Structure 1
């Protein structure tokens, strides 16, 4: 399959990394298979996470097809790029089509990227995750690989102005060991195990991060490490309020 859009986008991302002197550390990339389908399940703390989660697959020379909300594909600029990179649109009112497209991609040997929390975590901890990624991996009989990102929230996250001129920001990308879910009636135990593994990776990335916030920048540190990010409970209330406002007539 000829790729006309993805390689130039990767090249542009590398130019951006160099311009900002981002210090990206990838650990565990050997866990991503060089051939065959796989589901990468990443935490979600930034609008740029798809770039960095995709970076985890570059040592294996894989291109990740991400599932993203339909609105991104409707945008006049991002839409053509997303379609050109063969990402998969998700219409939350009609999710069956996206699930079918994702399953077909996995069976065709693609690497699928999923943010199982569905939305950005304001608390920078792992929110409740959906079972879709587990179901897809089990149905396609492919490995499911947890990924933890940390540092990307400093560039652009929910509720904060984007700061794409900030230089020298460390970005940590940890790739966990594969899981091999099988088709069962109840996926809850596997979802719980995935959540546990993702949380362990994220917390490790946070504790081992090479920088601490400067005075006035404590917003990007989770509350449990002394930062001023919302607690998971506060973040859940903020999400609920936002959802109610969005659905109001």
Structure 2
């Protein structure tokens, strides 16, 4: 716990603020106490740094288990860093990975914490916003906590004295979404898809991104085979997308 605040206020936070000068909007939309889900788009590996910097409360994220399993001095330092930075390990390689992630996220919320989550399940391959996975809806419905949509927005800012460009970072927190009208319907895939789509619509509105109704992970897999993002999107037809909703990995994120 102390290491988290050390990173935020001493080791990383002041430098990130000085260099990038992140701008925040709607911070008051994040509850000052109690549990909530912060559901954000995912454009950069630095998203998990800039978003928590704007808040006084600690944010816990679900992270790949590989960050916590290294050996030797490097492995120890890596485990210490990610644990101290508020990351909780999730084994994404197991058959039960999606359900394990949901159980872990639910436990964090039941402890009254803020849970940061990226419903797309992966970083955007081309800065567009991709279809959200329904795990975020399951956790919201099982715990009854509000969901705060978050948009990470990156532009370019020139530093005149040194003639260089650095990202212009904005973090936008939307109004909390209340899904209490669906109480008792956790596990209903139609309801969970509707809730997830509502969350993603709010993220899209905040971020101004173009929305693509296919999974980003599927697009990345196709791109590994040599396709462009546009080619991959055009080949992922609706029947394939709907089938993906029934796959275990569709719950992750």
Please indicate, yes or no, whether the TM-score normalized by the shorter chain is above 0.5.
yes
Gaps of 5+ in 2: 157-163, 227-253
CA drift at 1:244: 6.9
1:134–1:144 Cα contact (<8 Å) kept: no
Q: What is the number of equivalent residue pairs in this alignment? A: 204
The alpha carbon displacement at 1:72 in A equals 2.3
Matches within 5 A, 1:118-197: 118-151=121-154, 168-181=166-179, 182=182, 183-184=184-185, 185=188, 186-197=191-202
Ranges of 4+ aligned residues in structure 1 off by more than 4 Å: 235-238, 242-245
Cα displacement (A) at 1:81: 1.7
Q: Relative to 1, partners in 2 of residues 1:237 and 1:62: Cα closer, same or farther, differing over 3 Å?
A: closer
**Paired residue for 1:69, among 64, 67, 74?**
64
Counterpart of 1:78 in structure 2 is 78
Give the aligned CA root-mean-square deviation in angstroms.
Answer: 2.9
What is the deviation of 1:188?
A: 1.5
Is the CA contact (8 Å cut-off) linking 1:42 and 1:149 kept in structure 2? yes
Greater share of strand: 2
Separation in 2, partners of 1:31, 1:63:
15
Unpaired segments ≥5 residues, structure 1: 155-165, 207-221, 225-230
TM-score, L = length of structure 1: 0.72
Q: Measured at CA, do residues 146 and 111 of structure 1 come closer, stay the same or move farther in structure 2, by a change above 3 Å?
A: same
The structure-2 alpha-carbon separation of the partners of 1:167 and 1:41, relative to structure 1 and needing over 3 Å to count, comes to same
Q: Give the match's secondary structure for 1:169.
A: strand
